[in-house]
Amino acid sequence: MIETAAILAGGLATRLKPITEKIPKSLVEVAGRPFIEWQLKLLQAKGLRRVVLCLGHLGSQIEEVVGDGTQWGLEVEYSHDGPHQLGTAGALLQARSRLGEQFWVLYGDSYLNFDYRAVSDYFELAAPDQLGLMTVFANHNLWDTSNVVFEDGRLLKYDKWQRVPEMHYIDYGAALLRTEALELLVTLIQERPSDLANLYSHLVEEQLMLGYEVTERFYEIGSPAGLRETDLYFRDF
């Protein structure tokens, strides 16, 4: 079981303004709690033990709330962007010394309730030569715009910006990477802020990324509509 996760939580969250003008997105209240509390509680329940929070905008507030993670049974460390936004790819590269040989990559605005152990076992055993694994969900443009071509258990195309009709799946928001994949980032981002989607697209094109279908829908707080829906979901807990 891969027990370490990087959570990318450094964005400006412009779609949630004015809420996020004074607090980071991870601390937006969902059903009476900061959203990150729901995330951390889930990860601990799924068998993860270490979390590296990649922070940027108002990140010190998250650090004050989460601390060392012991109240959730986790070991939490921090990686800060610094004075300039690095983008999701740059933030992950900045954190690489804390992540180990293989690790999860998650986003700070997503709640993903699936079988982490099954996916981890598949990644470790199925194809040790692969540098990554992307979880995918049969979205059919329902909860967001689909961006993945996934057929017969194979990840054939991923593009966050240029969609094609065959894209019925979506990047679910949970990936596994080996540390070798981060070496590719050095040349891909060339010291510019960059989206992690660029790395994923490259790995898919080079047939270095597995696909794994999950069936539990995702919840997110990246948009006002998503925040409302996620809040309702947690109020049933």
Alpha carbon distance 63, 48 (integer Å): 19
Sign of the four-CA dihedral 137, 115, 53, 203: negative
CATH of residue 30: 3.90.550.10
**Closest among 90, 32, 7, 30 to 229, alpha carbons compared:** 30
Per-residue model confidence (pLDDT) at position 191: 53
Domain range enclosing 78? 4-234
pTM for the model stands at 0.95
Cβ atoms of 24 and 109 within 8 Å: the answer is: no
Confidence (pLDDT) at 46: 98
Number of H helices, E strands in the chain: 7, 13
- Tens digits of per-residue pLDDT, 145-203? 999 999 999 999 999 889 899 999 999 999 999 999 998 887 766 555 578 998 999 99
Q: Please tell me the predicted confidence (pLDDT) of residue 193.
A: 58
Mean pLDDT, the chain, as a whole number?
93
DSSP string, 179-230: HHHHHHHHHHHTTS---HHHHHHHHHHTT-EEEEE--SPPEE-SSHHHHHHH
pLDDT in tens, 212-232: 999 999 999 999 999 999 999
44-74 pLDDT, tens digit per residue, is 999 999 999 999 889 999 999 999 999 999 9
Supply the pLDDT for residue 189. 61
| Counted domains in the chain | 1
How many residues are recorded in the chain? Answer: 237
Q: What angle do CA 63, 79, 31 make, to 5 degrees?
A: 40
